[in-house]
Structures are given as structure tokens and as C-alpha cells.
Amino acid sequence: MDREALAELLDRPSAACRAARVALRRGGEYRVWDDSRVPAYRLASTYRSRLRNTERRGVETLDLRDTVETLDQLGNEQLALGQVVAPEGAWAFVLFLRPGCAELLACTGVRRR
């Protein structure tokens, strides 16, 4: 997936999508793993744990709770994953996409140390 196509998918009103799009446009590193699929329910479990851990440790996140709720609703649907890392490395974003990367379903960001 090229940078511009990914930036278009990130053109959504959520805080994480906006920040990931800015990071991507400013030259942030990105990857999309469209060839590996993970069931949404497994991702929901993983990211629910991350939500608890980040809240407990006071780590700043963007749209993590909304992402977990979206993943819960998707059940057995197979998802592809992507990642954007801000150029200065302060934020990392995880993207949850439909196979074929035609649609972004959720995006979350976490502040890195």
C-alpha cells in the first residue's frame, strides 16, 4: 500500500486517525500486513489488556477504548493490520483494516517513551 492511499484511509474524524495521518504526511514510517489475517475477537482481547495496562500506568493513548469496542463488534471477522510511527517516534499507531486494505475499521495510538 502506498503512502497516499493509506493517508486517504486515515481521513476520518477520530483523534487517532487525524494524528496518524499527520505523522504519515510528515514522513513517519509505516507498514501494512495485508497478507496476515487475525480474527477481530483475538485483537479485542489483546487490546482490552493494553487498555487496562496503559490506564494503570498512566500512558497516554488515542481512541484505544473506541478501538476495543469496534473490535468486539466485529467478532470473527478477519482483519489486516498496519502501523504508523510518528517521525520523531513519540507516537505509534495501529491500524485495523479489512482484508485488501479497502477500508479502515479502527485506529489507535499510544505515546511511546
Instruction: Say how many domains are in the chain.
Output: 1
- Whether 67 and 106 have beta carbons less than 8 Å apart is answered as yes
Do strands 78-85 and 91-97 pair parallel, antiparallel, or not at all (unpaired)? antiparallel
Identify the domain containing residue 68 by its residue range. Answer: 3-111
Q: What is the pLDDT of residues 57-106, one digit of tens each?
A: 999 999 999 999 999 999 999 999 999 999 999 999 999 999 999 999 99
Q: What is the pLDDT of residues 23-53, one digit of tens each?
A: 999 999 999 998 889 999 999 999 999 999 9
Closest CA to 111 of 70, 58, 67: 58
pTM of the model: 0.95
pLDDT score, position 36: 85
